[in-house]
């Protein structure tokens, strides 16, 4: 909420809670004045013009007039391991800015210890005051040394089943199209992830529309 020194998460509360504030509509970009947000059992039960509570209802009322209530922000791509201070310290800096969900790549640990690095990242994602998910690295690059700790289907399959894993991250599409072991391995990764209902990301940083078409 603007004007506040900290962000108060709305989940985890029991009973009824009514918050009066301006509401930011992320779909239309509008700031709507004098709105109420009703929270019940940790979920949003109502958002809209201020209704009058029925007789006998007991609720906690928070008057946040002059402030703005907005949905939690999502950091859709980051490398928290590169920050070097762990998930707790990473979350401490994000949370005051309104970020409630983070999706991180996990390549850094895997570059040095392989599948054990994935397990280390997964262990560090939960529990946290913000929601944290990861995408597993395909371990492919522009040079053979980047494939030293490459994962294989047997390593990846059980880890893809973890709900904190959203899929495969940052595949170099050129490597995916190569003939031979590397292309076969990456193709297997893509097929496995899609079969499990996970996503597959590409890595096309700096590529223009024409390059992507090619």
- Of 24, 53, 69, at which residue does a domain stop? 69
pLDDT at position 133: 93
pLDDT at position 4: 38
Residue 45's domain is classified under what CATH number?
A: 2.30.40.10
* Tokens found for residue 183: 């292309």
Which stretches of the chain score pLDDT less than 50? 1-15
pTM above the 0.85 mark?
no
In sequence order, what are the residues at sequence separation of 6 or more whose Cβ sits closer than 8 angstroms to the Cβ of residue 48? 35, 36
Q: What is the pLDDT of residues 31-56, one digit of tens each?
A: 998 888 888 877 888 888 876 655 55
The reply to whether 40 and 24 lie within a common domain is yes
Domain encompassing residue 21: 16-69
Question: Per the structure, how many domains does the chain have?
Answer: 2
The reply to whether 121 and 203 lie within a common domain is yes
Residue 167's SS3 state is: strand
């Amino acid at each position: 909420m603007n004007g506040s020194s900290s962000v108060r998460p709305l989940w985890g509360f029991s009973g009824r809670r009514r918050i009066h504030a301006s509401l930011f509509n992320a779909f239309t970009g509008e700031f709507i004045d004098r709105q109420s947000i009703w929270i019940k059992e940790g979920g949003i039960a109502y958002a809209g013009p201020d209704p009058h509570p029925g007789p006998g209802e007991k609720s906690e009322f928070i008057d946040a007039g002059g402030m703005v209530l907005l949905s939690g922000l999502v950091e859709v791509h980051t490398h928290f391991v590169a920050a070097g201070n762990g998930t707790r310290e990473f979350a401490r800096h994000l949370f005051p800015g309104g970020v409630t969900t983070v999706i991180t790549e996990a390549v850094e640990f895997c570059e040095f210890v392989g599948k054990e690095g994935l397990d280390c990242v997964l262990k560090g994602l939960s529990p946290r005051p913000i929601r944290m998910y990861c995408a597993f690295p395909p371990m492919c690059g522009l040079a053979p040394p980047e494939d030293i700790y490459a994962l294989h289907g047997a390593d990846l399959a059980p880890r893809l089943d973890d709900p904190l894993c959203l899929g495969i991250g940052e595949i170099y599409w050129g490597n995916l199209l190569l003939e031979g072991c590397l292309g076969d391995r990456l193709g297997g990764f893509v097929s496995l992830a899609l079969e499990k209902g996970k996503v597959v990301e590409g890595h096309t940083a700096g590529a223009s529309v024409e390059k992507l078409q090619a």
